[in-house]
């Protein structure tokens, strides 16, 4: 399985993503510099977390316009799976590969902690190793993670089964208490229409190693390895 | 020419920053303020003396990058630099 | 009128006013004129003023700093470079340093703290290391002081935003509230980096005719005279100095980090030095002086972001995110390619020479021509008069009133600013990025894994200012000992420390006495614990209108855990396990949090530190951790034994039932005394024998404290205190305080 | 009355955001733009019909909270709400 990690100026979870990918696939991913118009053939493209362009102006906005993103958009539209984590999710929305936007957290503060997520789909290439409705623990680390879309879009996302994860309490209850950032309808991650593009704010790559006090994130990479060639 | 661009959240989009500022103003004793909204202000110099062309350029910049039109509106003024 | 405008009017010989505004005494000015044999130009005066400022020259502290032990088999680089370096085996080395950004953070907390973090990270990556962890040691004023909340909010978000954007985890720190910091908060930041021990970069520019290269951000009029500001006592007029605030740009620093590391992987750099306080001046002077060469700069080549900058302004600017390098000849194009790729400015701005002089030209005119020896070796060094402090007498615990209920008292203490959870702070810091944080904030030491290995670096920042205020010597000893203990409690071999010595005005003999006492105490502890100082920073003049801060010698320590599988945490693990105390009990309530919180007074001598006992007890605990004999470990510090137990219970979400305490001391002295050299450990019952034997062999007293289990803290004769109740108050204090803004 | 407040960095203060936006605009093909500066825009409704009083209130808000006068300037316009 060939994977690529896109590196923007200011990306800082690129190495973390590479480590998790290598652990899952057995091969190091190609690290692709944002300025390169060439994107190697990939079975999976990962947009990592970080502060591309300092998150200045709006998180992800400037990265969404870098040369390599034109190619990423093309590949994504051609069916290549794309995983956007945290800043990568922000880039995907700014590039309009996913609907909605990620706004400043309701607390207005950066928030770094483990949160609970409810797995809303277990039949996607990203999540089939999870059980439907399972509660998993992933870390979040962001200041702009409050998912916002208009009501119609939210209804459509729900109707089409495109909500990937929702923030919840340890018990699985999807409540305001379990929502760390004020996201609409507790949405933590969403798919595109074809289920081949996933954007999520929490960091699966940060809990993919037993030494890091949990491995709930590893199942996402394992799912991908199984689903992809 | 110089463009002064203001970018504001659309009506109906939640503005936690504006709300927080409003709360802080109330706490400071400005009890009578309301409807506080926060946006962005951007100044850009465009090397273009034809106002129509400058306007077109500024609008393209806003649409493509400066504003996220899903949630934001923009307005601008031009002046000779 | 600001200094620059005034100075620009001055002709050749600066007036007495201008000399004074540059922070030089008449005596120092005479020394300057002697050193160069004539009156200085304005640019030269500016250069001397920053080089001879307290901040750059360490003129009041230098003679004393020499007393600190700096050697050891693990030390690769001691004080004198941008950061210290210690060997951590397998060809790896840890690079670390701590620095203050106190005055800027008081003036503009967000930018002040942010640029402090940016500065200390540059110190570490200048050495060729990738920063892998940040720490921060914060002292704020009283919670009810009108400025405190604003300062806490600004400092914490400034530190967070900078480190978060850089992608370096901020893994721990410490936070105090004390009215004596009302007008002088302390913001000390520490960075730890990782480097290949064979590829360490230093600042000595050896070699003549080599290109001097400027990289990073453009130069603006930021913080001109920031370095002299940081060394000047505050007064009402300091409002005027406000424009000296600099704005941090973590995005550019992230690019600078990656670009520098990329270039460092090639064989092109002779010397490198970040432009920190006193920017271009101190970086060029230090590189040339250390390399024993001269340096010639052409300022017209300096990338600037403002029009019409003068030589004076360029030499004194403190714009952030800049570096100066001396390259091997002929590699300029290769180097430039790297910096252009990262979108950074790159300019050859001069050459090394064999003249031993700093020559600064600006568009043809010579603006400064100074022998380097005059700036460096001829800098003033003072042996300031000092009076030692007489420590208060020890407090007899029998004279200290008892509380009605120990558990009520515990609840009140954990609900106080001094012991409340710092979660509100560390959750604003990305403490997990780089995916190697194997022990997150909340314990005794943070632990970050050495990437790709099973080794871990334990890191802790410590000092107890109220001890230092009562007895600087014993307090400084305690700071070193507590740091050593925190590393030990995680299972690490303590390696070395960095320090940040925050004091008042050294021209006052009683302040100088505090400084001397603290150095002596630190030196003694470092020597006894084989815990040398490899880097550090001195911040003096932390006083406002004659009121000084308590002496605050902050200590940042690094230790090595050979295998993170053998790391200890403070969280209790299992029902039915035993809780044991290792270490002797004396019931020391002098300067304790018990007296401060419950009786609202601080008196008596701080707990004495017996370094031999520290070492023996710590070595025992570390061995027990490595042998797998204990399942949780926490040292006893602020608040004493019951507080330590409660923190372990909360961390593990496991209750405890405590045995009746021995009655040779009053119960509150046993449970809240702050005796040093003690650890609480959790162990499975079948390990108890072995632990007792090991303790006997090490001559360390041991006592069974109780048993793990349930969901409350239970003491004979009192209503058990549910963990839920305790957690609520412990977690709630800081968010509640910050919300009521 | 309604106040439209723009807050800008003082001359000479580094504007990392503006710098980055300028770079991004160049990369997008707006080669001729320069001097990009980013600031804030805040709208506040003040329950005060006397313009002089409203003005005084807005200035106090700016000085005390909305602008960081160490590094920022502010300007505002008032209009009947
Ligand atoms: N400013 C801060 N930033 C990050 N972590 C902090 C800060 N202040 C305190 N902490 C964390 O809170 C915990 C408790 O701190 P402290 O009581 O000083 O520990 P100790 O007594 O073991 O030295 C530690 O894990 C420490 O790292
Ligand atoms: Mg401790």
Give ∠ CA C38-C44-C47 in degrees, rounded to 5: 135
Contacts of A57 in chain D (CB under 8 A): 17, 20-21, 24, 38
Separation of alpha carbons A61 and A90, rounded Å: 8
Testing the interface with A: which of C110, C167, C344 to mutate, by most A Cβ within 10 A? C167
Share of chain C above pLDDT 90, in %: 90
CB contact under 8 A, A54 and D38: no
Average pLDDT, rounded, for chain C: 94
Which residue among the candidates C22, C101, C103, C668 is catalytic per the annotation?
C101
Give the model's pLDDT for residue C162.
98
Give ∠ CA B63-B69-B74 in degrees, rounded to 5: 70
Q: What is the pLDDT of residues C530-575, one digit of tens each?
A: 999 999 999 999 999 999 999 999 999 999 999 999 999 999 999 9
Q: Is A53 on the interface with C (CB under 8 A)?
A: yes
Q: Which atom belonging to ligand 1 lies closest to the Cα atom of C489?
A: 22
Give the model's pLDDT for residue C230.
47
Q: What is the pLDDT of residues C304-313, one digit of tens each?
A: 998 889 999 9
Residue C299 near residue C152, CB atoms below 8 Å: no
CB contact under 8 A, C427 and A139: no
- Residue C552 token pair: 């605050």
Identify the residue whose tokens are 């709300």: B19
Listed in sequence order, the residues at least 6 apart from C175 whose beta carbon sits closer than 8 Å to its beta carbon are C137, C138, C139, C140, C422, C425
Residue C709 near residue C576, CB atoms below 8 Å: yes
Separation of alpha carbons C46 and C367, rounded Å: 11
Share of chain A above pLDDT 70, in %: 100
How does residue C673 score in pLDDT terms, banded at 50, 70 and 90? very high
Contacts of D40 in chain A (CB under 8 A): none
Give the ligand whose atoms come closest to the C-alpha of residue C175: 1
Q: What is the pLDDT of residues A47-62, one digit of tens each?
A: 999 999 999 999 999 9
Q: Which residues pair with D4 in a beta bridge?
A: D43, D77
Lowest mean pLDDT among C220-229, C593-602, C627-636, D47-56: C220-229
Give the model's pLDDT for residue A67.
87
Give the model's pLDDT for residue C224.
79
Q: What is the pLDDT of residues C480-516, one digit of tens each?
A: 999 999 999 999 999 999 999 999 999 999 999 999 9
Q: Determine the distance in angstroms separating the CA of A102 from the nearest CA of chain C, rounded to an integer.
A: 17
Single pTM value for the model: 0.95
Count other C-beta atoms under 10 Å from residue B63's C-beta. 12
Separation of alpha carbons A137 and C298, rounded Å: 57
Separation of alpha carbons C32 and C35, rounded Å: 5
Give the ligand whose atoms come closest to the C-alpha of residue C557: 1
Give the model's pLDDT for residue C741.
53
| Mean pLDDT of all residues in B4-8 | 97
Give the model's pLDDT for residue C226.
47
Q: Which atom belonging to ligand 1 lies closest to the Cα atom of C156?
A: 1
Q: What is the pLDDT of residues C576-601, one digit of tens each?
A: 999 999 999 999 999 999 999 999 99
- Residue C597 token pair: 């919180």
C486 lines ligand 1 (CB under 6 A): yes
* Whether the predicted pLDDT of A35 surpasses 90: no
Minimum CA distance residue for ligand 1 atom 16: C174
Separation of alpha carbons C438 and C419, rounded Å: 24
Residue of B nearest to A64 (CA): B65
Give ∠ CA C171-C174-C179 in degrees, rounded to 5: 150
User: Residue C732, exposed/middle/buried by CB under 10 A (0-12, 13-18, 19+)?
Assistant: middle
* Whether the predicted pLDDT of C364 surpasses 90: no
Q: What is the pLDDT of residues B22-76, one digit of tens each?
A: 999 998 999 889 999 999 999 999 998 899 999 999 999 999 999 999 999 999 9
**Residue from B75, B63, B71, B73 nearest B16 by CA:** B71
C169 lines ligand 1 (CB under 6 A): no
Which run of H or E residues covers position C438?
strand C437-439
DSSP string covering C7-37: HHH--SS--HHHHHHTT--HHHHHHHHHHHT
* Whether the predicted pLDDT of C137 surpasses 70: yes
Q: What is the pLDDT of residues C679-697, one digit of tens each?
A: 999 999 999 999 999 999 9
Question: Which ranges in C566-680 belong to alpha helices (H)?
Answer: 593-598, 611-626, 641-652, 667-672
Which run of H or E residues covers position C500?
strand C493-502
Give the model's pLDDT for residue C242.
33
Separation of alpha carbons B20 and C197, rounded Å: 49
Domain range annotation of chain D = 2-79
C-alpha dist (Å) from residue C354 to C35, C205, C210: 19, 11, 11
Identify the residue whose tokens are 């910050």: C738
How does residue A213 score in pLDDT terms, banded at 50, 70 and 90? confident
Listed in sequence order, the residues at least 6 apart from C466 whose beta carbon sits closer than 8 Å to its beta carbon are C178, C550, C591, C596, C602, C606
**Residue from C609, C648, C632, C570 nearest C410 by CA:** C648
| Stronger pLDDT, C345 or C234, i.e. the higher one | C345
CB contact under 8 A, B6 and D30: no
Give the model's pLDDT for residue C722.
98
Q: What is the pLDDT of residues A140-162, one digit of tens each?
A: 999 999 999 999 999 999 999 99
Q: Is C651 on the interface with D (CB under 8 A)?
A: no
Separation of alpha carbons C15 and C6, rounded Å: 10
Ligand 2 centroid distance, CA of C486 (Å): 5
| Mean pLDDT of all residues in C461-473 | 98
Q: Which residues pair with B8 in a beta bridge?
A: B73
Identify the residue whose tokens are 């080669």: D31
How many residues does the structure list for chain D?
Answer: 81
Give the model's pLDDT for residue C12.
54
Count other C-beta atoms under 10 Å from residue B50's C-beta. 10
C417 lines ligand 1 (CB under 6 A): no
Give the model's pLDDT for residue A171.
97
| Mean pLDDT of all residues in C623-633 | 98
C-alpha dist (Å) from residue D49 to C392, D54, D66: 64, 7, 21
3-state secondary structure C199-213: CCCCCCCCCCCCEEE
Residue C579 near residue C645, CB atoms below 8 Å: yes
Topology at the third CATH level for domain A3-227: Rossmann fold (3.40.50)
CATH number for B2-79: choose from 3.40.47.10, 3.40.640.10, 1.20.1420.30, 3.30.1280.10. 3.30.1280.10
Which run of H or E residues covers position A16?
helix A14-25
Phi/psi for C202 (5° steps) reads -125, 180
Count other C-beta atoms under 10 Å from residue D38's C-beta. 24
Identify the residue whose tokens are 């928030």: A111
Ligand 1 centroid distance, CA of C417 (Å): 13
């Amino acid at each position: 399985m060939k994977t690529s990690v896109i590196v923007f100026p200011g990306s800082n979870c690129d190495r973390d993503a590479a480590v998790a990918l290598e652990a899952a696939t057995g091969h190091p991913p190609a690290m692709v510099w944002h300025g390169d118009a060439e994107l190697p053939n990939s079975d999976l493209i990962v947009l990592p977390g970080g502060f591309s362009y300092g998150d200045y102006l709006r998180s992800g906005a400037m990265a969404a316009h870098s040369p390599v993103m034109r190619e990423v958009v093309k590949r994504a539209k051609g069916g290549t799976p794309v995983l956007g984590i945290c800043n990568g999710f922000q880039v995907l929305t700014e590039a309009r590969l996913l609907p909605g936007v990620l706004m400043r957290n309701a607390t207005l503060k950066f928030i770094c902690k483990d949160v609970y997520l409810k797995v809303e789909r277990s039949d996607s290439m990203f999540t089939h190793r999870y059980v439907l409705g399972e509660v998993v623990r992933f870390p979040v680390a962001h200041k702009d993670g409050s998912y916002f879309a208009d009501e119609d879009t939210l209804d459509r996302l729900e109707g089409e089964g495109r909500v990937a994860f929702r923030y919840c309490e340890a018990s699985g209850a999807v409540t305001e208490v379990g929502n760390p950032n004020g996201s609409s309808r507790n949405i933590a991650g969403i798919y595109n229409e074809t289920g081949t593009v996933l954007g999520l704010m929490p960091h699966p790559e940060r809990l993919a190693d037993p030494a890091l006090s949990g491995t709930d994130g590893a199942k996402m990479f394992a799912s991908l390895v199984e689903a992809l060639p | 020419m110089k463009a002064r661009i203001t970018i504001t959240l659309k009506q109906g989009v939640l503005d936690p920053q504006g709300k927080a500022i409003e709360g802080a103003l109330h706490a400071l004793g400005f009890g009578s303020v309301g409807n506080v909204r926060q946006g962005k202000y951007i100044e850009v110099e465009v090397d273009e003396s034809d106002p129509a062309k400058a306007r077109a350029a500024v609008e393209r910049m806003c649409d493509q990058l400066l504003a996220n039109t899903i949630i934001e509106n923009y307005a601008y003024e031009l002046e000779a630099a | 009128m600001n200094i620059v405008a005034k100075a620009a009017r001055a002709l050749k010989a600066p007036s007495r006013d201008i000399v004074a505004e540059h922070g030089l005494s008449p005596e120092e000015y005479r020394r300057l004129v002697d050193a160069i044999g004539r009156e200085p130009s304005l640019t030269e005066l500016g250069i001397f003023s920053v080089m001879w400022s307290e901040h750059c020259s360490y003129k009041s502290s230098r003679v004393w700093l020499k007393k600190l032990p700096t050697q050891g088999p693990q030390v690769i680089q001691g004080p004198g470079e941008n950061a210290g370096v210690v060997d951590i085996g397998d060809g790896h080395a840890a690079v670390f340093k701590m620095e203050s950004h106190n005055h800027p953070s008081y003036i503009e907390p967000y930018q002040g703290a942010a640029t402090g973090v940016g500065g200390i990270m540059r110190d570490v990556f200048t050495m060729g290391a990738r920063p892998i962890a940040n720490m921060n040691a914060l002292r704020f004023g009283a919670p009810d002081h009108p400025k405190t909340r604003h300062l806490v909010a600004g400092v914490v978000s400034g530190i967070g935003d900078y480190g978060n954007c850089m992608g370096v985890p901020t893994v721990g720190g410490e936070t105090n509230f004390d009215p004596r910091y009302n007008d002088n908060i302390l913001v000390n930041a520490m960075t730890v980096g990782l480097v290949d021990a064979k590829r360490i970069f230093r600042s000595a520019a050896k070699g003549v005719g080599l290109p001097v290269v400027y990289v990073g951000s453009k130069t603006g009029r930021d913080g001109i005279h920031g370095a002299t500001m940081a060394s000047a006592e505050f007064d009402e007029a300091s409002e005027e100095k406000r424009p000296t605030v600099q704005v941090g740009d973590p995005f550019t620093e992230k690019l600078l980090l990656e670009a520098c590391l990329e270039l460092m992987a090639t064989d092109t750099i002779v010397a490198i030095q970040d432009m920190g306080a006193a920017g271009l001046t101190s970086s060029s002077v230090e590189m040339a002086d250390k390399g024993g060469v001269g340096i010639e700069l052409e300022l017209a080549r300096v990338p600037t972001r403002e029009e019409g900058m003068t030589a004076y302004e360029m030499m004194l600017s403190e714009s952030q995110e800049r570096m100066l390098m001396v390259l091997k000849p002929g590699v300029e194009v290769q180097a430039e390619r790297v910096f252009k790729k990262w979108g950074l400015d790159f300019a050859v701005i001069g050459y090394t020479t064999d003249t031993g002089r700093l020559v600064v030209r600006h568009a043809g005119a010579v603006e400064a021509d100074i022998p380097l020896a005059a700036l460096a070796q001829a800098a003033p060094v003072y042996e300031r008069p000092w009076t030692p402090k007489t420590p208060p007498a020890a407090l007899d615990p029998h004279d200290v009133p008892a509380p009605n209920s120990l558990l009520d008292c515990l609840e009140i203490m954990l609900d106080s600013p001094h012991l409340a959870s710092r979660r509100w702070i560390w959750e604003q810091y990305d403490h997990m990025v780089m995916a190697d944080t194997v022990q997150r904030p909340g314990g005794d030491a943070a632990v970050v894994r050495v990437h790709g290995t099973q080794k871990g670096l334990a890191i802790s920042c410590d000092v107890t200012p109220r001890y230092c205020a009562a007895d600087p010597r014993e307090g400084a000893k305690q700071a070193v000992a507590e740091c050593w203990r925190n590393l030990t409690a995680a299972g690490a071999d303590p390696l070395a420390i960095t320090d940040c010595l925050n004091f008042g005005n050294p021209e006052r003999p009683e302040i100088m006495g505090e400084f001397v006492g603290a150095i002596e105490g630190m030196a003694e502890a470092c020597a006894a614990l084989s815990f040398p100082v490899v880097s550090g920073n001195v911040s003096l003049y932390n006083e406002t209108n004659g009121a000084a801060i308590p002496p605050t010698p902050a200590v940042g320590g690094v230790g090595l855990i050979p295998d993170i599988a053998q790391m200890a945490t403070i969280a209790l693990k299992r029902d039915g396990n035993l809780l044991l105390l290792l270490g002797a009990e004396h019931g020391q309530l002098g300067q304790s949090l018990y007296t401060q919180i419950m009786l609202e007074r601080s008196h008596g001598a701080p707990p004495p530190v017996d370094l031999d006992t520290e070492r023996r007890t710590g070595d025992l605990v570390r061995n027990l951790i490595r042998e797998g004999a204990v399942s949780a470990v926490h040292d006893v510090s602020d608040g004493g034994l019951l507080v330590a137990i409660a923190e372990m219970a909360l961390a593990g979400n496991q209750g405890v039932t405590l045995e009746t305490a021995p009655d040779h001391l009053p119960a509150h002295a046993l449970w809240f005394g702050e005796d040093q050299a003690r650890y609480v450990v959790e162990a499975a019952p079948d390990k108890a024998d072995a632990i007792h034997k090991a303790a006997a062999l090490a001559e360390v007293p041991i006592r069974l404290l109780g048993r793990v289990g349930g969901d409350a803290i239970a003491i004979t004769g009192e209503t058990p205190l549910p963990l839920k109740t305790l957690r609520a108050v412990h977690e709630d204090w800081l968010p509640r305080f910050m919300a009521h803004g």
